Amino acid sequence: MLGSLFFAAGAALQWIQYTDGENYVAAVRKSWVWWQSGGIEIGLGQQIDGLSVMVLLLVAFISTLVQIYSLEYLKGDRRYTHFFASLTLFSAGMLVMVLAENMVQLILGWEIMGLCSFMLIGHWWEEKANSRASLKAFFTVRTGDIGLLVGTAIVGLSAQKWINANGLQDQYSGFSIEGICRWALAGDSQYKSVLTWGAVALFIACIGKSGQFPLHTWLPDAMAGPTPVSSLLHSSTMVVAGVFLVARLYPVFFEGLRILDTNVNLIAVIGGITIIVAALLAFVQTDIKKVLAYSTVSQLGYMMMGLGVGAWTPAVFHIWTHAFFKCCLFLCAGSIAHSGSHHSFDMKKDMGGLWRKMPVTFATWTISSMALAGVPFFAGWYSKDEIIDIAGGNQYWVFFAIGLAGAFLTTAYMTRATYLTFFGKARGAAAGIHEEDHSDAHAPAPAAHGAADAHDVHDAHDAHDSHAGPHESPWLIKGPLVILATLAIVAGLINAPAFKIFKFEEWVEPKAMPVSLTGETIHEGSARGITVGAFGLRTSSEGESESEPVPAEGDGHSPTEGESGAEEHSEGEEHSAGYPGSAIEEGHLTGDCGTPGFVPAAGTTCYAPGVIHHEFKWVKALPAFLLVVLGFIISSAVCVTLYGKKRRPLAGLTERNIIARGLYKFLWNRYYLDALYEGVIVRGIAHPLARAMYWLNQNVFDGIVNGAGRSGRKVGEITYKYVDQGLVDSAVNGSGAAARGTGTALRPTQSGKVSQYGALLFAAAALAALILVLVNS
């Protein structure tokens, strides 16, 4: 992974230089034809732009730290080398997907991750719970992957047809990502329903991969794998793959998933539901890793919601910031289990009072938790709060309220997890009381293996004396925690609207050159008769248009050529490009951008679909901050009252109060979705279908096969009896008998007597002479 990190860093530096001061930045595309038939072409290549470079660097960096961490954490594991091979291939699959130039390559990387996640989640497959978790993850994600294959076929073939009709074969293929985006942006009415169905199919795959409601049920069970796997899977690889696909094919999803041609997008609806659904489930978890798992699901909901409300850049930026603090939190959980709780992840049973004994782990956990909660000036605040701000600025008030509620819930459940882990009275393993049968099923017992490969259960995680009591972890574990916690503070500063810093926006946000209808580049702000580029278009701010520009709804702000981040975003400016408030009067933003003759305001960004920005104001950041503070206060008070005091008035509330009991039971059973899937889909559909297929196999397919076998045997018997025995063998035996009879008849002539031979010779000569006389007479 060090090599990948080195090359990723080099690519990032080159991209920064490439985009510096440039108004137009095209993706660097290179491909080679791999397969071609009937006008359909599939190539091999890569597409480098701000999005791919960002994720490339992120994956390589996080993977390197996780592997360093794993050197100590997995020391002594029976499948040590197998683990690192699978983990490296897992990261490689994400890199393949990120660099993919076309959908076929993207599917390849997508499926490599799916396979490796199956191997890594079931790394300790000897425990039935672990093997079941890996199978559940595999089949749930495979359900979504059906949509990926179907959606790719729909959009790829349709895009190829459009490309051929418009003579763009030399520039794009139908399955190329940029070609698909061009097709989606064309707004061709004959492809409207096709675009919708293709987007729906692809989005099903994104829902499954990124653990969005209702296919989120596999993600918490994936905690059965080693903690480094959970950290990598939940921070920067597999679970963000769905978000990455939405961001990569943004025109397809934004245009195809608009509900009833309104400005409400299905992406935002699913993301908003997921935020609340997952956050509530985190409150009833006792496993610290499952708290973080549901937290990941909730944060992925923020990313999806941001993409659905036009906050493309903040949503992608949240991938960046979230990776650091979420990876740190998972690795902190591993550090606690490794050195503080005797390999248990049960907060209520085996933790408590660890902040004094594990100060570095506690400090890094606290910093990352504050970043996750969106505390101002921590990394998560810069990205998550901008998503909430844009949702409100674009008049998506329901999603704005969901974002605020999510901020409150996030702070509350992370405060609960922090209190149970680090404060209060030490319990169980944290107090030096070790039970061999604790709740952590992540390390298989030796009894599950033969004596030849069995080793102490604790050696599956470490090679030191786990019974020495809670203590700080070694530096191979602490080092990555410190690095990640530092980034949980500073990583957000590359795009900090509060400080007029917009570097991430400059480097990652897609840009495209406005061109005239004749294909000529427009310069000096002349933007009449524009067509849409690969993803959108950006106008120059150097002078006004030659004709009066169409005013945006507010004064736009966006990076422009040669300007610094502070100059790019003038005070008090907002850019909404007539979206969504003016969409009814002026038409949908994408329609405007793609319509010949539309002139965007000079100095503004007009993306297709619209990527929106609003000017940062401290007063707009206040509601989220107040809810974060309120969540901390309420959760702290409840935790102290419920877990800290000897007289606990809230103790047993879920038993005494019927409403509280019902709500707790509802959440504890995870909305009964697992039971629903198990009872309806698995037992109600899959099992009867399996039995029907088994009967069909036994009685139809096997009958056909067995019948063919019996028929073949009968034909063989007939052939043997009548053809082989009756005909072939008779002919062979008859020829032998004839030869034997002839030999017997001629045997008397070979007596060995010379006188007899002479008489025969004389008789033969006489016979010949007689024949000659008769013939000539």
The pLDDT value recorded for residue 376 is 92
The torsion angles phi and psi of 451, rounded to 5 degrees, stand at -65, -25
CA distance 410 to 372: 8
CA distance 593 to 289: 45
The pLDDT value recorded for residue 574 is 44
The pLDDT value recorded for residue 650 is 67
Q: Which of 51-60, 359-368, 405-414, 440-449 has the lowest mean pLDDT?
A: 440-449
Cis peptide upstream of residue 251 (ω within 30 degrees of 0): no
Q: What type of residue sits at position 455?
A: H
Among candidate residues 253, 247, 300, 254, the one with its CA nearest the CA of residue 277? 300
Work out the burial of residue 683: count CB atoms within 10 Å of its CB; fewer than 13 is exposed, 13-18 middle, 19 or more buried. Answer: exposed
pLDDT above 90 as % of the chain: 26
The pLDDT value recorded for residue 415 is 93
pLDDT at 455 over 70: no
Whose tokens are 């004396």? That residue is 465
Could you read off the pLDDT of 240-285 as tens digits, one per residue? 999 999 999 998 998 888 888 778 889 999 999 999 999 999 999 8
Could you read off the pLDDT of 530-546 as tens digits, one per residue? 233 333 333 333 333 33
Among candidate residues 121, 385, 407, the one with its CA nearest the CA of residue 239? 121
Could you read off the pLDDT of 74-83 as tens digits, one per residue? 888 888 888 8
Number of H helices, E strands in the chain: 31, 6
Buried b (16+ CB within 10 A) or exposed e, 110-130: bbbbbebbbbbbbbbbbbeeb
Supply angle C-alpha 274, 280, 284, rounded to 5. 135
Q: What type of residue sits at position 295?
A: S
The torsion angles phi and psi of 525, rounded to 5 degrees, stand at 80, 0
Could you read off the pLDDT of 105-158 as tens digits, one per residue? 999 999 999 898 888 888 888 888 888 888 888 888 888 899 999 999 999 898
Buried b (16+ CB within 10 A) or exposed e, 726-736: eeeeeeeeeee
Whose tokens are 């009964």? That residue is 672
- Res. 561 pLDDT band, cuts 50 70 90: very low
- Res. 205 pLDDT band, cuts 50 70 90: very high
Q: Which of 197-201, 581-585, 723-727 has the lowest mean pLDDT?
A: 581-585
pLDDT at 701 over 90: no
The pLDDT value recorded for residue 721 is 83
pLDDT at 402 over 90: yes
The torsion angles phi and psi of 382, rounded to 5 degrees, stand at -65, -35
The pLDDT value recorded for residue 271 is 94
pLDDT above 70 as % of the chain: 79
The pLDDT value recorded for residue 657 is 73
Helix (H) or strand (E) holding 636: helix 618-639
- Res. 223 pLDDT band, cuts 50 70 90: confident
Q: Could you give the angle at which helices 618-639 and 379-393 cross, rounded to 10 degrees?
A: 120
pLDDT at 601 over 50: no
Average pLDDT, the chain: 78
CA distance 293 to 121: 14
Q: Which of 95-109, 324-338, 516-530, 564-578 has the lowest mean pLDDT?
A: 516-530
Supply angle C-alpha 685, 686, 692, rounded to 5. 90
Could you read off the pLDDT of 382-393 as tens digits, one per residue? 999 999 998 888
The pLDDT value recorded for residue 611 is 63
Highest mean pLDDT among 104-108, 446-450, 700-704: 104-108
Could you read off the pLDDT of 630-684 as tens digits, one per residue? 999 999 888 888 877 665 666 667 677 788 788 888 888 888 888 888 888 878 8
The pLDDT value recorded for residue 617 is 84
DSSP codes, 334-361: HHHHHHTSTT--BHHHH-SS-TTT-HHH
Q: Which of 42-46, 117-121, 665-669, 727-731 has the lowest mean pLDDT?
A: 42-46
Supply angle C-alpha 630, 345, 140, rounded to 5. 90
Q: Is 515 helix (H, G, I), strand (E, B) or coil?
A: strand
CA distance 257 to 251: 10
Could you read off the pLDDT of 300-317 as tens digits, one per residue? 999 999 999 888 889 999
pLDDT at 45 over 80: yes
